[in-house]
Amino acid sequence: MTGPVHVTAEVLATKTLGAYRHLSLVAPGVGERSRPGSFLAVSVDDGHLGRRAFWIHRVAPMGGHRAVVEIVVEERGPGTRALAALPVGARVDVTGPLGRPFALPRDPARCLLVGEGYAAAALTSLAERLRERGCGVRLVLGGTDDAHLLEPLAARRSVGQVEVAAGDVTAAVLRALPEVDVVYVAAPTATLRFVAGAVAGSETSCQVALERPLTCATGLCQGCPVPVLDDAGDPHVVRACVDGPVFRCGLVDWEALG
Amino acid sequence: MSADWPFGNPVLTASGCGGTGRDLAAYGDLSELGGFVTRSVTLQPRPGGAEPRIVESPSGLVNAIGLQNPGVTAFVREELPPLVELGATVVVSIAGHSLGEYAELSRTLGRTDGVAALEVNLSVPDPVGSGLFDAREPFQAASVVGSCRRDLRAGVLLLVKLRSDVVRVVETAKAAVEAGADAVVVGNALPAALPDGRPGGLSGPAIRPQALRCVAEVARALPDTAVIGCGGIMDADDARAHLDAGARAVQVGTALFHDPTSAFRIARELAPEPDPLPGEDDA
Protein backbone atom coordinates (compact mmCIF):
# COMPACT_ATOMS: atom_id res chain seq x y z
CA MET A 1 0.00 0.00 0.00
CA THR A 2 1.45 3.30 -1.05
CA GLY A 3 0.16 6.75 -1.70
CA PRO A 4 -2.25 8.91 0.23
CA VAL A 5 -5.98 8.39 0.67
CA HIS A 6 -8.77 10.89 1.24
CA VAL A 7 -11.20 9.57 3.85
CA THR A 8 -13.71 10.69 6.43
CA ALA A 9 -12.12 10.15 9.82
CA GLU A 10 -13.76 9.82 13.21
CA VAL A 11 -12.36 11.35 16.38
CA LEU A 12 -11.83 8.42 18.74
CA ALA A 13 -10.22 10.22 21.66
CA THR A 14 -9.02 13.68 22.66
CA LYS A 15 -6.81 15.00 25.40
CA THR A 16 -4.88 18.09 26.38
CA LEU A 17 -1.10 17.94 26.30
CA GLY A 18 0.28 21.12 27.85
CA ALA A 19 -0.57 23.91 25.42
CA TYR A 20 -1.68 21.45 22.76
CA ARG A 21 -4.70 19.36 21.91
CA HIS A 22 -4.11 15.72 21.05
CA LEU A 23 -6.53 13.92 18.71
CA SER A 24 -6.75 10.21 17.97
CA LEU A 25 -8.37 9.61 14.59
CA VAL A 26 -9.80 6.51 12.98
CA ALA A 27 -8.76 7.26 9.40
CA PRO A 28 -8.83 4.02 7.43
CA GLY A 29 -5.73 3.57 5.30
CA VAL A 30 -3.84 6.60 6.60
CA GLY A 31 -2.07 5.01 9.55
CA GLU A 32 -1.25 1.82 7.68
CA ARG A 33 0.69 3.80 5.06
CA SER A 34 2.32 6.30 7.40
CA ARG A 35 6.10 6.53 7.86
CA PRO A 36 8.20 8.71 10.18
CA GLY A 37 7.90 12.28 8.92
CA SER A 38 4.54 11.74 7.19
CA PHE A 39 1.79 14.26 7.76
CA LEU A 40 -1.91 14.50 7.09
CA ALA A 41 -4.24 17.32 6.03
CA VAL A 42 -7.61 18.04 7.57
CA SER A 43 -10.51 19.93 6.00
CA VAL A 44 -12.20 22.27 8.45
CA ASP A 45 -15.37 23.24 6.56
CA ASP A 46 -16.46 24.78 3.26
CA GLY A 47 -15.90 28.26 4.62
CA HIS A 48 -12.22 27.47 5.18
CA LEU A 49 -10.94 26.07 1.91
CA GLY A 50 -7.30 25.58 2.87
CA ARG A 51 -6.24 22.40 4.59
CA ARG A 52 -4.75 22.25 8.07
CA ALA A 53 -1.65 20.07 8.11
CA PHE A 54 -0.42 18.03 11.08
CA TRP A 55 2.52 15.73 11.66
CA ILE A 56 1.49 12.17 12.32
CA HIS A 57 2.56 11.78 15.92
CA ARG A 58 1.94 8.09 16.40
CA VAL A 59 0.11 5.21 14.77
CA ALA A 60 -1.16 2.67 17.27
CA PRO A 61 -3.95 0.14 17.75
CA MET A 62 -6.77 1.53 19.87
CA GLY A 63 -10.37 0.61 20.63
CA GLY A 64 -10.38 -2.34 18.25
CA HIS A 65 -8.89 -0.30 15.39
CA ARG A 66 -5.61 -1.44 13.93
CA ALA A 67 -3.93 1.85 13.07
CA VAL A 68 -5.34 4.87 14.86
CA VAL A 69 -3.56 8.08 13.84
CA GLU A 70 -2.59 10.58 16.50
CA ILE A 71 -1.98 14.25 15.79
CA VAL A 72 -1.01 17.24 17.91
CA VAL A 73 -2.93 20.45 17.29
CA GLU A 74 -1.68 23.88 18.22
CA GLU A 75 -4.36 26.53 18.09
CA ARG A 76 -3.20 29.26 15.76
CA GLY A 77 -6.37 30.55 14.12
CA PRO A 78 -10.04 29.81 13.54
CA GLY A 79 -9.35 26.55 11.68
CA THR A 80 -7.09 24.98 14.27
CA ARG A 81 -9.39 26.29 17.04
CA ALA A 82 -12.31 24.45 15.45
CA LEU A 83 -10.28 21.27 15.17
CA ALA A 84 -9.02 21.51 18.75
CA ALA A 85 -12.62 21.76 19.91
CA LEU A 86 -13.79 18.61 18.10
CA PRO A 87 -15.54 16.18 20.43
CA VAL A 88 -15.15 12.43 20.43
CA GLY A 89 -17.30 10.99 17.63
CA ALA A 90 -16.94 14.03 15.35
CA ARG A 91 -16.13 13.39 11.69
CA VAL A 92 -13.58 15.23 9.61
CA ASP A 93 -12.21 14.70 6.11
CA VAL A 94 -8.51 13.92 6.11
CA THR A 95 -5.95 13.20 3.42
CA GLY A 96 -2.83 11.27 4.20
CA PRO A 97 -0.21 10.15 4.72
CA LEU A 98 1.38 12.99 2.80
CA GLY A 99 4.88 14.08 1.95
CA ARG A 100 8.30 12.61 1.61
CA PRO A 101 9.27 11.06 4.97
CA PHE A 102 12.59 10.89 6.81
CA ALA A 103 15.26 8.65 5.28
CA LEU A 104 16.66 6.15 7.77
CA PRO A 105 20.39 5.37 7.95
CA ARG A 106 21.43 2.14 6.23
CA ASP A 107 23.64 1.07 9.13
CA PRO A 108 23.29 1.75 12.85
CA ALA A 109 24.35 5.35 13.46
CA ARG A 110 24.48 7.83 16.31
CA CYS A 111 21.40 9.99 15.79
CA LEU A 112 20.40 13.36 17.20
CA LEU A 113 16.75 14.37 17.04
CA VAL A 114 15.88 18.01 17.58
CA GLY A 115 12.19 18.67 18.15
CA GLU A 116 10.75 22.03 19.06
CA GLY A 117 7.17 22.88 19.88
CA TYR A 118 4.40 20.73 18.47
CA ALA A 119 6.63 19.83 15.52
CA ALA A 120 8.42 17.41 17.84
CA ALA A 121 5.48 15.11 17.06
CA ALA A 122 7.15 14.38 13.72
CA LEU A 123 10.02 12.67 15.58
CA THR A 124 8.16 10.27 17.86
CA SER A 125 7.80 7.37 15.45
CA LEU A 126 11.20 8.18 13.96
CA ALA A 127 12.86 7.63 17.35
CA GLU A 128 11.17 4.24 17.62
CA ARG A 129 12.25 3.16 14.14
CA LEU A 130 15.83 4.28 14.72
CA ARG A 131 16.06 2.34 17.97
CA GLU A 132 14.63 -0.75 16.25
CA ARG A 133 17.48 -0.45 13.77
CA GLY A 134 20.07 -0.35 16.53
CA CYS A 135 20.78 3.37 16.29
CA GLY A 136 21.76 5.40 19.32
CA VAL A 137 19.14 8.10 19.76
CA ARG A 138 19.41 11.31 21.69
CA LEU A 139 16.75 13.97 21.68
CA VAL A 140 16.85 17.69 22.27
CA LEU A 141 13.29 18.70 23.09
CA GLY A 142 12.48 22.40 22.92
CA GLY A 143 9.53 24.72 23.22
CA THR A 144 8.89 28.34 24.06
CA ASP A 145 8.03 27.35 27.64
CA ASP A 146 7.18 24.23 29.68
CA ALA A 147 3.63 24.07 28.31
CA HIS A 148 5.03 23.94 24.77
CA LEU A 149 7.34 20.99 25.42
CA LEU A 150 5.70 17.98 23.80
CA GLU A 151 5.44 15.04 26.18
CA PRO A 152 8.85 15.28 27.90
CA LEU A 153 8.04 12.36 30.22
CA ALA A 154 7.04 10.04 27.38
CA ALA A 155 10.17 11.07 25.50
CA ARG A 156 12.33 10.13 28.49
CA ARG A 157 10.71 6.69 28.55
CA SER A 158 11.22 5.96 24.86
CA VAL A 159 14.50 7.69 23.99
CA GLY A 160 17.85 6.89 25.58
CA GLN A 161 19.05 10.39 26.21
CA VAL A 162 16.80 13.43 26.40
CA GLU A 163 17.81 17.01 26.97
CA VAL A 164 14.92 19.35 27.64
CA ALA A 165 15.63 22.91 26.60
CA ALA A 166 12.67 25.22 27.09
CA GLY A 167 13.24 28.60 25.49
CA ASP A 168 16.31 27.98 23.35
CA VAL A 169 17.64 24.72 21.95
CA THR A 170 20.80 26.07 20.34
CA ALA A 171 23.21 25.44 23.21
CA ALA A 172 21.96 21.88 23.69
CA VAL A 173 22.26 21.21 19.95
CA LEU A 174 25.83 22.49 19.83
CA ARG A 175 26.77 20.28 22.79
CA ALA A 176 25.34 17.17 21.13
CA LEU A 177 26.52 17.68 17.54
CA PRO A 178 30.15 16.51 17.91
CA GLU A 179 28.94 13.14 19.17
CA VAL A 180 26.52 12.18 16.40
CA ASP A 181 26.56 11.08 12.74
CA VAL A 182 23.02 11.95 11.70
CA VAL A 183 20.70 14.81 12.71
CA TYR A 184 16.93 15.05 12.24
CA VAL A 185 15.21 18.35 12.98
CA ALA A 186 11.51 19.21 13.26
CA ALA A 187 11.15 22.76 14.49
CA PRO A 188 10.30 26.32 13.45
CA THR A 189 12.31 27.59 10.49
CA ALA A 190 14.72 29.64 12.64
CA THR A 191 15.90 26.48 14.41
CA LEU A 192 16.13 24.51 11.15
CA ARG A 193 18.24 27.29 9.72
CA PHE A 194 20.46 27.31 12.81
CA VAL A 195 21.09 23.56 12.72
CA ALA A 196 21.71 23.65 8.96
CA GLY A 197 24.36 26.29 9.56
CA ALA A 198 25.90 24.35 12.43
CA VAL A 199 26.38 21.16 10.37
CA ALA A 200 27.39 22.91 7.15
CA GLY A 201 30.80 21.71 5.97
CA SER A 202 30.88 18.82 8.44
CA GLU A 203 30.48 15.09 7.81
CA THR A 204 27.22 15.06 9.77
CA SER A 205 24.20 14.31 7.62
CA CYS A 206 21.12 16.33 8.43
CA GLN A 207 17.45 16.17 7.45
CA VAL A 208 14.97 18.88 8.27
CA ALA A 209 11.17 18.66 8.39
CA LEU A 210 10.23 21.97 6.87
CA GLU A 211 6.99 23.54 7.98
CA ARG A 212 5.61 26.03 5.46
CA PRO A 213 2.15 27.51 5.11
CA LEU A 214 0.22 24.96 3.02
CA THR A 215 -3.06 25.37 1.17
CA CYS A 216 -3.88 22.07 -0.52
CA ALA A 217 -1.04 20.04 1.07
CA THR A 218 -1.32 17.58 -1.84
CA GLY A 219 0.90 19.09 -4.54
CA LEU A 220 -1.90 20.68 -6.54
CA CYS A 221 -1.80 24.41 -5.79
CA GLN A 222 1.87 25.47 -5.94
CA GLY A 223 1.31 27.57 -2.85
CA CYS A 224 4.25 26.27 -0.79
CA PRO A 225 7.42 27.08 -2.75
CA VAL A 226 10.77 25.98 -1.36
CA PRO A 227 13.91 27.35 -2.99
CA VAL A 228 16.52 24.63 -3.42
CA LEU A 229 19.99 24.39 -4.92
CA ASP A 230 20.79 21.29 -6.95
CA ASP A 231 24.15 19.53 -6.87
CA ALA A 232 25.47 21.95 -9.49
CA GLY A 233 24.37 24.90 -7.34
CA ASP A 234 21.56 25.88 -9.72
CA PRO A 235 18.39 27.27 -8.11
CA HIS A 236 15.02 25.55 -8.44
CA VAL A 237 11.66 26.00 -6.77
CA VAL A 238 9.99 22.85 -5.43
CA ARG A 239 6.90 22.23 -3.33
CA ALA A 240 7.15 21.72 0.42
CA CYS A 241 4.17 19.36 0.55
CA VAL A 242 5.14 16.73 -2.03
CA ASP A 243 8.85 17.31 -2.70
CA GLY A 244 9.29 17.62 1.09
CA PRO A 245 8.44 18.30 3.81
CA VAL A 246 11.64 16.46 4.75
CA PHE A 247 14.69 17.77 2.93
CA ARG A 248 18.42 17.17 3.20
CA CYS A 249 19.41 20.42 4.83
CA GLY A 250 22.13 21.03 2.23
CA LEU A 251 19.51 21.06 -0.53
CA VAL A 252 17.54 24.01 0.85
CA ASP A 253 18.57 27.51 -0.24
CA TRP A 254 18.36 28.95 3.26
CA GLU A 255 19.15 32.48 2.11
CA ALA A 256 16.29 32.52 -0.37
CA LEU A 257 13.83 30.79 1.98
CA GLY A 258 11.56 33.41 3.52
CA MET B 1 -16.10 24.06 -35.23
CA SER B 2 -12.67 23.11 -36.49
CA ALA B 3 -12.15 20.20 -34.14
CA ASP B 4 -14.34 17.55 -32.57
CA TRP B 5 -15.27 17.94 -28.93
CA PRO B 6 -12.62 15.78 -27.24
CA PHE B 7 -14.08 15.60 -23.74
CA GLY B 8 -15.76 12.33 -22.82
CA ASN B 9 -17.70 13.84 -19.94
CA PRO B 10 -18.48 17.37 -18.77
CA VAL B 11 -16.05 17.60 -15.82
CA LEU B 12 -12.58 19.04 -16.38
CA THR B 13 -10.02 20.30 -13.92
CA ALA B 14 -9.33 24.03 -13.89
CA SER B 15 -5.92 25.31 -14.86
CA GLY B 16 -3.41 25.49 -12.03
CA CYS B 17 -5.48 23.31 -9.71
CA GLY B 18 -4.27 19.79 -10.51
CA GLY B 19 -0.54 20.09 -9.97
CA THR B 20 1.39 18.36 -12.73
CA GLY B 21 -1.39 15.78 -12.98
CA ARG B 22 0.67 13.04 -11.40
CA ASP B 23 -0.18 14.58 -8.03
CA LEU B 24 -3.90 14.49 -8.75
CA ALA B 25 -3.68 10.94 -10.12
CA ALA B 26 -3.01 9.76 -6.56
CA TYR B 27 -6.71 10.44 -5.88
CA GLY B 28 -8.44 9.19 -8.99
CA ASP B 29 -8.15 8.01 -12.58
CA LEU B 30 -7.46 10.99 -14.84
CA SER B 31 -9.12 9.17 -17.74
CA GLU B 32 -12.40 9.38 -15.83
CA LEU B 33 -12.36 13.17 -16.10
CA GLY B 34 -13.54 14.94 -19.22
CA GLY B 35 -10.16 16.61 -19.41
CA PHE B 36 -7.14 17.72 -17.45
CA VAL B 37 -6.21 21.38 -17.91
CA THR B 38 -2.56 22.09 -17.10
CA ARG B 39 -1.23 25.09 -15.25
CA SER B 40 -0.56 27.95 -17.66
CA VAL B 41 2.58 27.27 -19.65
CA THR B 42 4.74 30.13 -20.92
CA LEU B 43 7.51 30.12 -23.49
CA GLN B 44 10.25 30.59 -20.90
CA PRO B 45 10.27 29.06 -17.40
CA ARG B 46 8.82 31.21 -14.59
CA PRO B 47 9.88 30.71 -10.97
CA GLY B 48 6.63 32.07 -9.57
CA GLY B 49 5.96 34.75 -6.99
CA ALA B 50 6.86 35.50 -3.40
CA GLU B 51 5.19 34.04 -0.33
CA PRO B 52 2.56 34.05 0.87
CA ARG B 53 1.16 32.82 -2.42
CA ILE B 54 -2.27 31.81 -1.19
CA VAL B 55 -4.36 33.06 1.71
CA GLU B 56 -7.81 32.12 2.87
CA SER B 57 -10.69 34.52 2.47
CA PRO B 58 -14.26 33.79 3.57
CA SER B 59 -15.39 30.86 1.37
CA GLY B 60 -12.52 31.61 -0.97
CA LEU B 61 -8.81 31.71 -1.59
CA VAL B 62 -6.74 34.60 -2.85
CA ASN B 63 -3.79 33.39 -4.86
CA ALA B 64 -0.73 35.00 -6.39
CA ILE B 65 1.23 32.05 -7.72
CA GLY B 66 2.87 34.14 -10.40
CA LEU B 67 2.36 31.55 -13.16
CA GLN B 68 5.13 29.27 -11.95
CA ASN B 69 5.86 26.77 -14.72
CA PRO B 70 8.88 25.09 -16.30
CA GLY B 71 8.45 26.69 -19.75
CA VAL B 72 7.08 24.99 -22.83
CA THR B 73 10.18 22.95 -23.71
CA ALA B 74 10.49 21.31 -20.28
CA PHE B 75 6.70 20.95 -20.12
CA VAL B 76 6.62 18.96 -23.36
CA ARG B 77 9.59 16.87 -22.28
CA GLU B 78 8.73 16.20 -18.64
CA GLU B 79 5.12 16.94 -17.74
CA LEU B 80 3.10 16.07 -20.83
CA PRO B 81 4.22 12.42 -21.32
CA PRO B 82 3.09 11.26 -17.85
CA LEU B 83 -0.28 12.96 -18.38
CA VAL B 84 -0.78 11.11 -21.66
CA GLU B 85 0.35 7.89 -20.04
CA LEU B 86 -2.18 8.39 -17.24
CA GLY B 87 -4.93 8.52 -19.85
CA ALA B 88 -5.79 12.19 -19.44
CA THR B 89 -7.42 14.19 -22.21
CA VAL B 90 -4.90 16.99 -22.02
CA VAL B 91 -5.74 20.67 -22.37
CA VAL B 92 -2.66 22.85 -22.22
CA SER B 93 -3.27 26.31 -20.79
CA ILE B 94 -1.01 28.92 -22.35
CA ALA B 95 -0.05 32.48 -21.44
CA GLY B 96 2.19 34.76 -23.47
CA HIS B 97 4.04 38.01 -23.10
CA SER B 98 3.39 38.97 -26.72
CA LEU B 99 1.34 37.94 -29.73
CA GLY B 100 4.47 36.33 -31.13
CA GLU B 101 4.81 34.19 -28.02
CA TYR B 102 1.20 33.08 -28.28
CA ALA B 103 1.78 32.10 -31.89
CA GLU B 104 4.92 30.17 -31.01
CA LEU B 105 3.23 28.37 -28.10
CA SER B 106 0.33 27.35 -30.35
CA ARG B 107 2.62 26.17 -33.09
CA THR B 108 4.77 24.13 -30.71
CA LEU B 109 1.99 22.59 -28.68
CA GLY B 110 -0.36 22.11 -31.64
CA ARG B 111 2.06 19.74 -33.33
CA THR B 112 2.84 17.84 -30.13
CA ASP B 113 1.12 14.48 -29.82
CA GLY B 114 -1.13 14.12 -26.82
CA VAL B 115 -2.46 17.69 -26.79
CA ALA B 116 -6.24 17.60 -27.28
CA ALA B 117 -6.84 21.30 -26.82
CA LEU B 118 -5.23 24.60 -25.98
CA GLU B 119 -6.76 26.97 -23.48
CA VAL B 120 -5.67 30.56 -23.97
CA ASN B 121 -5.52 32.16 -20.55
CA LEU B 122 -6.86 35.67 -21.10
CA SER B 123 -8.04 36.04 -17.52
CA VAL B 124 -4.90 36.23 -15.41
CA PRO B 125 -5.92 38.39 -12.44
CA ASP B 126 -2.82 40.59 -12.79
CA PRO B 127 -1.64 40.48 -16.42
CA VAL B 128 0.39 43.66 -16.25
CA GLY B 129 2.19 42.74 -13.04
CA SER B 130 2.82 39.29 -14.49
CA GLY B 131 4.35 40.87 -17.57
CA LEU B 132 1.79 39.21 -19.85
CA PHE B 133 0.23 40.57 -23.00
CA ASP B 134 -2.59 42.78 -21.81
CA ALA B 135 -5.81 41.44 -23.28
CA ARG B 136 -8.39 43.29 -21.25
CA GLU B 137 -10.05 44.86 -24.32
CA PRO B 138 -12.07 42.60 -26.59
CA PHE B 139 -10.02 43.59 -29.67
CA GLN B 140 -6.84 42.59 -27.82
CA ALA B 141 -8.41 39.26 -26.87
CA ALA B 142 -9.32 38.77 -30.52
CA SER B 143 -5.78 39.42 -31.68
CA VAL B 144 -4.43 36.81 -29.23
CA VAL B 145 -6.97 34.27 -30.43
CA GLY B 146 -6.13 35.09 -34.03
CA SER B 147 -2.42 34.59 -33.39
CA CYS B 148 -3.09 31.20 -31.82
CA ARG B 149 -5.58 30.08 -34.46
CA ARG B 150 -3.32 30.88 -37.40
CA ASP B 151 -0.60 28.46 -36.35
CA LEU B 152 -2.66 25.78 -34.67
CA ARG B 153 -2.82 22.36 -36.25
CA ALA B 154 -6.32 21.29 -37.29
CA GLY B 155 -7.85 18.84 -34.86
CA VAL B 156 -6.66 20.66 -31.75
CA LEU B 157 -9.51 22.49 -30.03
CA LEU B 158 -8.91 26.14 -29.19
CA LEU B 159 -10.46 27.27 -25.91
CA VAL B 160 -10.28 30.78 -24.52
CA LYS B 161 -10.57 31.37 -20.81
CA LEU B 162 -12.27 34.64 -19.94
CA ARG B 163 -12.72 36.56 -16.74
CA SER B 164 -16.20 36.41 -15.27
CA ASP B 165 -16.60 40.17 -15.51
CA VAL B 166 -20.28 40.52 -16.28
CA VAL B 167 -19.81 43.93 -17.89
CA ARG B 168 -17.32 42.74 -20.51
CA VAL B 169 -17.63 39.00 -20.77
CA VAL B 170 -20.22 38.78 -23.55
CA GLU B 171 -18.48 41.16 -25.94
CA THR B 172 -15.11 39.55 -25.18
CA ALA B 173 -16.54 36.10 -25.82
CA LYS B 174 -18.03 37.30 -29.13
CA ALA B 175 -14.71 38.81 -30.19
CA ALA B 176 -12.85 35.62 -29.26
CA VAL B 177 -15.26 33.42 -31.18
CA GLU B 178 -15.17 35.67 -34.24
CA ALA B 179 -11.37 35.44 -34.11
CA GLY B 180 -11.52 31.67 -34.23
CA ALA B 181 -12.04 30.28 -30.72
CA ASP B 182 -13.87 26.94 -30.73
CA ALA B 183 -15.25 27.36 -27.21
CA VAL B 184 -15.06 29.77 -24.30
CA VAL B 185 -14.28 28.98 -20.70
CA VAL B 186 -16.11 31.50 -18.56
CA GLY B 187 -14.63 32.20 -15.17
CA ASN B 188 -11.21 32.43 -13.59
CA ALA B 189 -10.05 33.80 -10.28
CA LEU B 190 -11.27 37.39 -10.04
CA PRO B 191 -8.87 40.29 -9.57
CA ALA B 192 -8.41 40.80 -5.84
CA ALA B 193 -5.67 41.63 -3.38
CA LEU B 194 -3.82 39.67 -0.75
CA PRO B 195 -3.97 41.16 2.76
CA ASP B 196 -0.56 42.77 2.16
CA GLY B 197 -1.95 44.60 -0.87
CA ARG B 198 -0.27 42.59 -3.61
CA PRO B 199 -2.50 41.70 -6.58
CA GLY B 200 -4.03 38.24 -6.54
CA GLY B 201 -7.05 36.33 -7.71
CA LEU B 202 -10.10 35.34 -5.65
CA SER B 203 -11.51 31.87 -6.28
CA GLY B 204 -13.84 29.42 -4.61
CA PRO B 205 -17.52 29.47 -3.58
CA ALA B 206 -17.21 33.20 -2.86
CA ILE B 207 -17.32 33.87 -6.62
CA ARG B 208 -19.72 31.09 -7.61
CA PRO B 209 -22.92 33.13 -8.09
CA GLN B 210 -21.03 35.72 -10.06
CA ALA B 211 -19.44 33.12 -12.37
CA LEU B 212 -22.84 31.52 -12.90
CA ARG B 213 -24.34 34.83 -13.99
CA CYS B 214 -21.60 35.27 -16.60
CA VAL B 215 -22.00 31.72 -17.90
CA ALA B 216 -25.73 32.28 -18.31
CA GLU B 217 -25.23 35.56 -20.17
CA VAL B 218 -22.61 34.15 -22.55
CA ALA B 219 -24.63 31.01 -23.21
CA ARG B 220 -27.67 33.13 -24.01
CA ALA B 221 -25.78 35.57 -26.25
CA LEU B 222 -23.82 32.87 -28.12
CA PRO B 223 -26.18 29.91 -28.40
CA ASP B 224 -24.02 28.20 -31.04
CA THR B 225 -20.81 28.38 -29.00
CA ALA B 226 -19.77 25.78 -26.46
CA VAL B 227 -19.35 27.36 -23.02
CA ILE B 228 -17.38 25.77 -20.21
CA GLY B 229 -18.34 27.13 -16.79
CA CYS B 230 -15.81 27.67 -14.04
CA GLY B 231 -15.92 29.34 -10.65
CA GLY B 232 -16.46 27.94 -7.18
CA ILE B 233 -17.91 24.59 -8.23
CA MET B 234 -17.66 22.38 -5.14
CA ASP B 235 -20.14 19.58 -5.84
CA ALA B 236 -22.42 18.02 -8.44
CA ASP B 237 -25.26 20.44 -7.71
CA ASP B 238 -23.01 23.40 -8.44
CA ALA B 239 -21.96 21.72 -11.69
CA ARG B 240 -25.58 21.07 -12.65
CA ALA B 241 -26.39 24.74 -12.10
CA HIS B 242 -23.77 25.66 -14.71
CA LEU B 243 -25.01 23.00 -17.13
CA ASP B 244 -28.60 24.17 -16.64
CA ALA B 245 -27.46 27.73 -17.37
CA GLY B 246 -26.22 26.59 -20.75
CA ALA B 247 -22.68 25.35 -20.15
CA ARG B 248 -21.61 22.26 -22.08
CA ALA B 249 -18.97 21.38 -19.48
CA VAL B 250 -17.49 22.67 -16.24
CA GLN B 251 -14.08 23.06 -14.68
CA VAL B 252 -13.38 22.21 -11.06
CA GLY B 253 -10.53 24.12 -9.46
CA THR B 254 -10.38 25.38 -5.90
CA ALA B 255 -12.53 22.47 -4.71
CA LEU B 256 -9.55 20.20 -5.44
CA PHE B 257 -7.49 22.05 -2.85
CA HIS B 258 -10.14 21.28 -0.23
CA ASP B 259 -10.78 17.72 -1.38
CA PRO B 260 -8.51 16.20 -4.04
CA THR B 261 -11.19 13.66 -4.96
CA SER B 262 -13.88 16.28 -5.70
CA ALA B 263 -13.59 16.42 -9.51
CA PHE B 264 -13.69 12.62 -9.79
CA ARG B 265 -16.74 12.46 -7.53
CA ILE B 266 -18.58 15.18 -9.46
CA ALA B 267 -17.85 13.37 -12.74
CA ARG B 268 -19.26 10.13 -11.31
CA GLU B 269 -22.35 11.85 -9.92
CA LEU B 270 -23.09 13.57 -13.23
CA ALA B 271 -22.67 10.39 -15.24
CA PRO B 272 -25.98 9.15 -16.62
CA GLU B 273 -27.29 5.95 -15.11
CA PRO B 274 -26.12 3.12 -17.37
CA ASP B 275 -28.89 1.50 -19.38
CA PRO B 276 -29.58 -2.01 -18.17
CA LEU B 277 -27.89 -4.58 -20.37
CA PRO B 278 -30.23 -6.84 -22.38
CA GLY B 279 -31.15 -9.84 -20.29
CA GLU B 280 -30.46 -8.07 -17.01
CA ASP B 281 -33.73 -6.19 -16.76
CA ASP B 282 -35.44 -9.07 -15.02
CA ALA B 283 -32.93 -8.93 -12.11
- In order of their start, the domains of chain B are 11-270 (3.20.20.70)
Q: Could B48 and A47 be called an inter-chain contact, meaning their C-beta atoms sit closer than 8 Å? A: no
Task: Assign domain A110-248 to its CATH architecture.
Answer: 3-Layer(aba) Sandwich (3.40)
The pLDDT of residue A82 is 94
Q: Least CB-CB distance to A50: which of B19, B256, B257?
A: B257
Q: CA-to-CA distance for A173 and A28, rounded, in angstroms?
A: 38
CB A57 within 8 A of CB A209: no
Q: Least CB-CB distance to B47: which of A213, A220, A237?
A: A237
Cα A225 from chain centre: 18
B16 to chain A nearest CA, in Å? 7
Share of chain A above pLDDT 70, in %: 100
Q: Could A220 and B56 be called an inter-chain contact, meaning their C-beta atoms sit closer than 8 Å? A: no
pLDDT surpassing 90 at residue A31? yes
The pLDDT of residue B283 is 43
A45 pLDDT band (50/70/90 cuts)?
A: confident
Tell me the pLDDT tens digit for each residue of A81-117.
999 999 999 999 999 999 999 999 999 999 999 999 9
A12 pLDDT band (50/70/90 cuts)?
A: very high
Which chain A residues touch B47 with a CB distance below 8 Å? 235, 237
Q: Could A213 and B60 be called an inter-chain contact, meaning their C-beta atoms sit closer than 8 Å? A: no
Q: Could A50 and B47 be called an inter-chain contact, meaning their C-beta atoms sit closer than 8 Å? A: no
* Sequence-ordered list of residues with C-beta below 8 angstroms from that of A99, at least 6 positions apart, any chain: A37, A38, A39, A241, A242, A244, A245, A246
* Sequence-ordered list of residues with C-beta below 8 angstroms from that of B181, at least 6 positions apart, any chain: B120, B145, B149, B158, B159, B160, B225
Which chain A residues touch B54 with a CB distance below 8 Å? 50, 213, 215, 221, 223
Q: Could B56 and A49 be called an inter-chain contact, meaning their C-beta atoms sit closer than 8 Å? A: yes
Domain A5-98 has CATH 3.30.365.10: no
B253 to chain A nearest CA, in Å? 9
The CB density around residue A179, as the number of other CB atoms within 10 Å, is 11
Q: Least CB-CB distance to A223: which of B23, B26, B53?
A: B53
Q: Could B26 and A218 be called an inter-chain contact, meaning their C-beta atoms sit closer than 8 Å? A: yes
Cα A232 from chain centre: 29
Query: Nearest residue of A to residue B255 by CA position?
Result: A49
Q: Which residues of chain B have pLDDT under 50?
A: 1, 283
Q: Least CB-CB distance to A220: which of B19, B50, B56?
A: B19
Which chain B residues touch A3 with a CB distance below 8 Å? 26
Q: CA-to-CA distance for A207 and A180, rounded, in angstroms?
A: 13
Q: Least CB-CB distance to A3: which of B26, B65, B256?
A: B26
Query: Nearest residue of A to residue B57 by CA position?
Result: A48
Find the mean pLDDT for residues A197-214.
95
The pLDDT of residue B232 is 96
Measuring CA to CA, which residue among B98, B49, B103, B38 is closest to residue B74?
A: B38
Tell me the pLDDT tens digit for each residue of B77-120.
999 999 999 999 999 999 999 999 999 999 999 999 999 999 99
A1 pLDDT band (50/70/90 cuts)?
A: low
Q: Least CB-CB distance to A223: which of B18, B24, B63?
A: B63
Q: Could B48 and A220 be called an inter-chain contact, meaning their C-beta atoms sit closer than 8 Å? A: no
CATH 3.40.50.80 residue spans of chain A: 110-248
The pLDDT of residue B280 is 55
Q: CA-to-CA distance for B226 and B221, rounded, in angstroms?
A: 11
Crossing angle (nearest 10°) for helices B236-244 and B208-221: 30
Q: CA-to-CA distance for A141 and A16, rounded, in angstroms?
A: 18
Q: Could B60 and A215 be called an inter-chain contact, meaning their C-beta atoms sit closer than 8 Å? A: no
The pLDDT of residue B121 is 96
The pLDDT of residue B1 is 44
**Which has the minimum average pLDDT: A5-9, A68-72, A161-165, A192-196?**
A161-165
pLDDT surpassing 60 at residue A119? yes
Which chain A residues touch B261 with a CB distance below 8 Å? 6
Which one of A38, A189, A216, A243 makes the best mutation probe of the B interface by having the most chain B beta carbons within 10 Å? A216
Q: Could B68 and A242 be called an inter-chain contact, meaning their C-beta atoms sit closer than 8 Å? A: no
The CB density around residue A134, as the number of other CB atoms within 10 Å, is 10
What is the length of chain B? 283
Cα B212 from chain centre: 15
The pLDDT of residue A210 is 96
CATH 2.40.30.10 residue spans of chain A: 5-98
Q: Is the bond into A97 cis (omega within 30 degrees of 0)?
A: yes
Residue A10 main-chain phi, psi, to 5 deg = -115, 135
